[in-house]
Structure 1
Amino acid sequence: MSGGVGPTGNDITLPKDDEAKPTATASATATATSGKSAGFLSFRQLNALAVIIVLSASGMVSPEDFAFVIFSVIYVYFLAKVAFPTLSSSSEPPVFDPKNRTLRLYVWAAAIIGLFLPIAYIFEGIFEGDKEGIRAAAPHVFLLSSQVFMEGLVFSHRFSTPLRVFVPVFYNSRRIFTLVDWLKSEISKVEDEYGGSTRRLHVGRALAAINMALWCFNLFGFLLPFYLPKAFKKYYSGFKVKD
């Protein structure tokens, strides 16, 4: 998920199917529910895909966000062929120790804050008639679910370590802008004119602010200064050994 904290530090990835990895993006709905496979797609990916389809069918996803996801799929395959080929036929080892308890805790916390709570917020908004709040939160949830789906894709022997870090960095960078819009939307609500409850008004503002802080830290405090350099060092040292 969203987030940059999976087995190899990828954004919110929770337990992988064939490896006991804390992957989320985290990631980032049932990203954190199970690591069992369901055919070609993992259970985690199927849950993320369900969220993607529901939000898309609801009309709450902008054409720009659709285009971003499609472009990310195409570009990942382009990079896999042109810039970052795999070093071997087997899956490359994770960058970080998947048994690290602090990392696993961070993954689960990011999954809850980044995906589960916003989804609950959207569902509650349907009952309260808060169309503005739903519309503001939906892009973040859609992109984080797409990120979870993509992370499940790149964590296979077909893709190298740099592409595993590319997905969380790429999506996390894009989601910062959707979070800014969400936070602005929540702050701009006038209580006298707001259709939902006062409790929902405060919860929405707190949730948007916490997600903004979490994913800014994830990008600027973890992915870019730690995960990215470590992943590239591991990848290019593998090239030297292979040569």
Structure 2
Amino acid sequence: MSGVTRAVGPRSEPDKTTAYDSGGSGGVMGSLRVIELQLVAFIMVFSASGLVPLLDLLFPAFVSVYLLVLSRLAFPSHGLTSTSPEIFRGSKLFRLYVVSGTAIGLFLPLAYVLGGFARGDDHAVRSATPHLFLLSCQILTENVISGLSLFSPPVRALVPLLYTVRRLFVILDWSQDVWFYKSLPSNATPDTVAWFWFARCLAIGNLAYFGVNLLCFLLPRFLPRAFEHYFRERDEILAKSRSDKSKHSDHKSD
């Protein structure tokens, strides 16, 4: 899942059996995977629901504009490859960590929100929806730009970094809501008690996972690796350019 899944590596061959190649923007709508179309649907529903604060609605637009500016002015792509190179290849243990993050950050909060709708728990729906909205935008953004040579590795690495920082503040608000502003009724049933503690554990689990993801992976490992790829590619281009000039100069002297 996002923040980490796109770090595992780029997609290889387009999947002919799906409507959309996850992470690439080949023909944009023609190459998008079904799950990403579902993310687009989630984003549209969340945006229209009135459950996402205005600041969070504007944040994806800000990130998109900022990334475009960076890709033009600060970290332009060197264009050695038709698609962006792999930044980080993880071990099997790392992939298990990614799968765990998918469950904790996406599937369980989605089940929580849907359960909140079914139970008539507006508090649950309102507290978790901003996180799901931003995560859906993050995954979609990562998948789209990972297949575009327009975006260099540092720009790609900033997507999960920027979104994770913002989502940590959102998750803090979510945790505060379920721990301090929601209490069990005096006549609570076992089902109500289980739902109450599920909400608390889910919020704290997301806070812990994405906090660790930011401080122990994205900042110390993923971002430096992206810059390493970028500057190594730049040095290769400069060395090749010097070599071509030297050969051209030798040819003229002959």
Matches within 5 A, 1:89-168: 89-97=81-89, 100-156=91-147, 157-168=149-160
In 2: Cα distance, 1:193 partner to 1:121 partner: 23
In 1: Cα distance, 2:137 partner to 2:213 partner: 17
TM-score (norm 1): 0.84
- Residue by residue over 1:115-143, the C-alpha shift from the partner in whole angstroms, topping out at 9 and shown as x without a partner, is 01000000000111111111110111000
In 2: Cα distance, 1:81 partner to 1:68 partner: 20
TM-score (norm 2): 0.81
1:18 deviation in Å? 3.6
Structure 1 runs, 4 residues or longer, greater than 3 Å off? 15-20, 34-38, 193-196
Letter in 2 for 1:2: S
Tell me how large the CA RMSD over aligned residues is: 2.4
1:234 deviation in Å? 1.4
Unaligned runs of at least 5 residues, structure 1: 21-33
Rg larger in structure: 2
In 2: Cα distance, 1:16 partner to 1:53 partner: 26
Q: What number of residue pairs does the alignment pair up? A: 224
- Residue by residue over 1:34-56, the C-alpha shift from the partner in whole angstroms, topping out at 9 and shown as x without a partner, is 84986143333212111111212
Change (3 A) 1:60 1:160: same
Unaligned runs of at least 5 residues, structure 2: 16-20, 239-254
- Residue by residue over 1:202-226, the C-alpha shift from the partner in whole angstroms, topping out at 9 and shown as x without a partner, is 0000000000000000001100011
| Greater fraction of residues in helix | 2
1:19 deviation in Å? 6.7
1:193 deviation in Å? 7.2
In 2: Cα distance, 1:210 partner to 1:17 partner: 32
In 2: Cα distance, 1:55 partner to 1:67 partner: 13
| Contact persistence 2:22–2:32 (CA under 8 A) | no
1:4 deviation in Å? 2.6
Q: 1:181 aligns with which of 148, 167, 173?
A: 173
1:96 deviation in Å? 1.9
In 2: Cα distance, 1:94 partner to 1:166 partner: 15
Letter in 1 for 2:77: T
What is the identity percentage for the equivalent residue pairs of Structure 1 and Structure 2?
Answer: 36
Change (3 A) 1:194 1:49: farther
**Matched residue of 1:60: which SS?**
coil
1:84 maps to what in 2?
75
In 1: Cα distance, 2:88 partner to 2:2 partner: 17
2:236 maps to what in 1?
241
| Contact persistence 1:17–1:35 (CA under 8 A) | no
Letter in 1 for 2:70: L
